[in-house]
Structure 1
Amino acid sequence: MSIILKAENISKQYRLGTVGTGTLKHDAQRWWAGIRGKEDPFLKVGAVNDRSSKANEDYVWALKDINFEVKHGEVLGIIGKNGAGKSTLLKILSRVTSPTTGSIKTKGRIASLLEVGTGFHGELTGRENIFMNGAVLGMTKSEIKNKLDEIISFSGCEKYIDTPVKRYSSGMTVRLGFAVAAHLEPEILVVDEVLAVGDAEFQKKAIGKMQDLSTGEGRTVLFVSHNMDSISLLTDRVLLLKNGLVHYDGETMKGVNEYLKIYKGGKSYHSDGVSQIPKIRHIELQTSLPNNIHEFGKELKFEFQIDIPYVTDNLALSFQIIDELQKPITHIWIIDSEKKIKREKGNYFFICTIPKPKLYMGDYSVRVHLSNSKTKEKFDYLESVCGFKIKMMKSVRKDFNWVHGTCKYLENANWSVSKFNSNAI
């Protein structure tokens, strides 16, 4: 198969803090160097792209020396931890931003679906946004008219197609956006985490459409996702990014295993530093056996240390137990409006006890969210921390209710909240 996309020595550098050099003279020197095609005289080497470490440099490389090729009709999965550089790479490929160094060579039209509702206008109806978004993506008016009924039908928004998009839910918006992009018939379709927003019905339909694009129509798809289940299903090859560098490029399942090996969390999580907003400082998982091993059916306990720097209403702490393919198995939460959480400034223990977790044997980790339940402001987010393994030590209890190897539900968890001395941990 022929090469349809080639990335050569792609690097992207961002300046931390202020954008200017600090003086008008240096800004003028930078501008003059750009006019003459010379390298920026103030472009320092910069720091590695590791969002978990404190910045000691003025610049950071979001991407560094990325090289890869994509063949016609190939579905390439791009995976990596949050902040690894995945979205930056897609924005460069989609011409949303330009690389600091390197070049992208493509054959054919590229359609991008990078964020929910990108290019939509809230005051326009769904039908009007189809025409506007289609034009932005490169479709002619006649092309859009010919595909209009098919786009509307695929989106499942027929009833609301003449309603302003500002009244749509995020799921409806992403349905419509994906429908337009998928029916553009581009040579290359770039998709970033869009399948994580829709409901199960839409996700199944979108996955089917992406499979049709690649196998039936020979389209090339670049697919970014944290859902290793979807990556395994849709792609034959993955590009694994770590700290802005290519860590692995090759067969999908080997890449997924490498991803899980790199990002599998230990039994506990800890974060230092000063924060101006509520932050998760420490998580401790108490398993029934040493070495992160937990006996099937035994009590499982999670301890969260939360730093609350100011009086906070509507605080919400939630976590998902996810399997080795990053698929959520269960979701547990505590919300201020449901269970009164102490609202004054301080450090707190949030302890969640699960008496009899119905988790099948296998490897698991935790995904944690700390937010304001009313304003939806996100304070902190942790991916794949506190890894543990469930093992069967006794005979399987017959009173557990299973569905296709995963639990149908999880028994109610017990929460407790208490203030504690910050020097205790």
Structure 2
Amino acid sequence: MNQTILKVENLSKQYRLGKIGTGTLSHDLNRWWHAIRGKEDPYLKIGEANDRSNKATSDYVWALQDINFEVQKGDVLGIIGKNGAGKSTLLKILSRVTSPSTGSVKTRGRIASLLEVGTGFHPEMTGRENIFLNGAILGMTKREIATKIDEIISFSGCERYIDTPVKRYSSGMTVRLAFAVAAHLEPEILVIDEVLAVGDAEFQKKAIGKMQDISKGEGRTVLFVSHNMAAVKSLCKTGIVLENGRLTFQGTSEECVGYYLNDSGTHTSNFKKYDENYAKELFTLNSIGVKNVTKSFNDTLVENLGIELIISIDFKIIPDNYHITYHLYNELGEALFSFYDSKGDTKLKMGTNQLTCTIPADFFQSGNYSLALFIIKDKRTAVFVERDIFGFTVVDGGRELGVYMGREPGFIRPQFKWSVQ
């Protein structure tokens, strides 16, 4: 029996750049002339890929282009991608907030969407009134809402403020209430866009538990967008990765997270060169690479040799009051630690700097890691921040025969001093 509940075929969405309503009358007339003659929209043949880091040379951009995937009933699909990759556009099309330029979306059953914090909430109305308003927008009847209102209020954790206008709620309280309404709608497909980024730890745990109950216990389907890779891996069974408006990878949630954190498979070695988009007023970022001591960037990175993290950067000023900081993340997207030259052993100079940080052997467990780069001025102001700027994989360097070959828990292998008497 076919259990496909959602099918996306050749889906594309095109937008016009610039100010709305400026210089589009001729385009609208041209579209109308093609339409009455039964011909294709002439502007679907032009347009650029949705790469937010490059300067546009066309008035049109493909926010999504040729997206194809299927979702089975009861599945939880994770949708992963960098900011501007097209995730929210895809969810808006699936939720019928906007229509595609080409392609089709076929669904079975009712779709409930939670796309932004407080969507459909009126700030002057109380939380209780907004439950009825938001429930009606999502397709619930007044009787259906009334029978579930106590359960919704209890789940949201906003009982004390439920008769207070929503304009006095914090963003966390608002998203709690909005999620509680959507989760109790009982749709066949629940679409959720990054709402867990706002809630606190307690609410995130409760929300993930509710979504697991929805998918496993009630057999409903969830489409989940998040930058929290731990949440994606724990909640989702399958996933897709979007990049510049295109679907670049499909697989299990673990495979998708690994692909995404390994810089979406865009480099084959442990060295990455940066283009003119990283040429700033004060500096130019040239490259970042990691390699084992005495090895090259093309060699596999192993855990039982020292690791060198090397950045090449040109400063256009005398950078006496600047320093470089890294944040290291594991394959779940969880921050492990930050590090920089706290002792001041290195001094950045005007012109080309090749800054090397040496990490001792057997410091990392095998696994996937990603870096965020910060350039800090006066030890307090970040003048440059780029998350997921570089990803690398550390593998087991080989162990003696008969030694446990599985992966040890955790991500760091601390080297402690031991003694016995």
Taking structure 2 as the reference length, the TM-score comes to 0.73
* Structure 1 residues 8-407: aligned runs within 5 Å: 8-19=9-20, 22=23, 24-34=25-35, 38-263=39-264, 270=274, 272=276, 289=293, 320-330=327-337, 361-362=365-366, 363-367=368-372, 382-387=386-391, 405=410
How far does the alpha carbon of each residue in 1:94-139 deviate from its partner, in whole angstroms, 9 at most, with x for none? 0111100111111111001111222222222222221111111111
Instruction: Work out the CA distance in 2 between the residues paired with 1:153 and 1:352.
Output: 53
138-147 vs 32-41, which moves further = 32-41
Q: What SS class does the counterpart of residue 116 from structure 1 fall into?
A: coil
How far does the alpha carbon of each residue in 1:7-47 deviate from its partner, in whole angstroms, 9 at most, with x for none? 12111111222445836444323234446664223443221
Q: What SS class does the counterpart of residue 364 from structure 1 fall into?
A: strand
Q: Match of 1:326, as an amino acid? A: G
209-218 vs 160-169, which moves further = 160-169
Equivalent residue number for residue 419 of structure 2: none
Contact 1:44–1:59 (8 Å) recurs in 2: no
Equivalent residue number for residue 416 of structure 2: none
Query: In the TM superposition, what is the alpha-carbon distance from 1:299 to its structure 2 partner?
Result: 11
Equivalent residue number for residue 337 of structure 1: none
Describe the shift of the 1:233–1:274 C-alpha distance in structure 2 as closer, same or farther (beyond 3 A): closer
Describe the shift of the 1:365–1:24 C-alpha distance in structure 2 as closer, same or farther (beyond 3 A): closer
Q: What SS class does the counterpart of residue 55 from structure 1 fall into?
A: coil
Instruction: Work out the CA distance in 1 between the residues paired with 2:312 and 2:178.
Output: 38
Give unpaired runs (5+ residues) of structure 1.
Answer: 309-316, 334-345, 372-377, 394-403, 408-425
Instruction: Work out the CA distance in 1 between the residues paired with 2:383 and 2:187.
Output: 38
How far does the alpha carbon of each residue in 1:211-236 deviate from its partner, in whole angstroms, 9 at most, with x for none? 11011111111111222322222222
Q: What SS class does the counterpart of residue 64 from structure 1 fall into?
A: strand
Identity %: 56
Give unpaired runs (5+ residues) of structure 2.
Answer: 317-323, 341-349, 377-381, 398-408, 413-421
Q: What SS class does the counterpart of residue 145 from structure 2 fall into?
A: helix
Contact 2:290–2:307 (8 Å) recurs in 1: no
Q: Match of 2:335, as an amino acid? A: P
- Give the count of matched residue pairs: 381
How far does the alpha carbon of each residue in 1:295-321 deviate from its partner, in whole angstroms, 9 at most, with x for none? 89x99989897999xxxxxxxx98642
Instruction: Work out the CA distance in 2 between the residues paired with 1:248 and 1:274.
Output: 26
Instruction: Work out the CA distance in 1 between the residues paired with 2:149 and 2:356.
Output: 50
Q: What SS class does the counterpart of residue 212 from structure 1 fall into?
A: helix
Describe the shift of the 1:171–1:43 C-alpha distance in structure 2 as closer, same or farther (beyond 3 A): same
Instruction: Work out the CA distance in 2 between the residues paired with 1:171 and 1:283.
Output: 39
Describe the shift of the 1:321–1:273 C-alpha distance in structure 2 as closer, same or farther (beyond 3 A): closer
Q: What SS class does the counterpart of residue 49 from structure 2 fall into?
A: coil
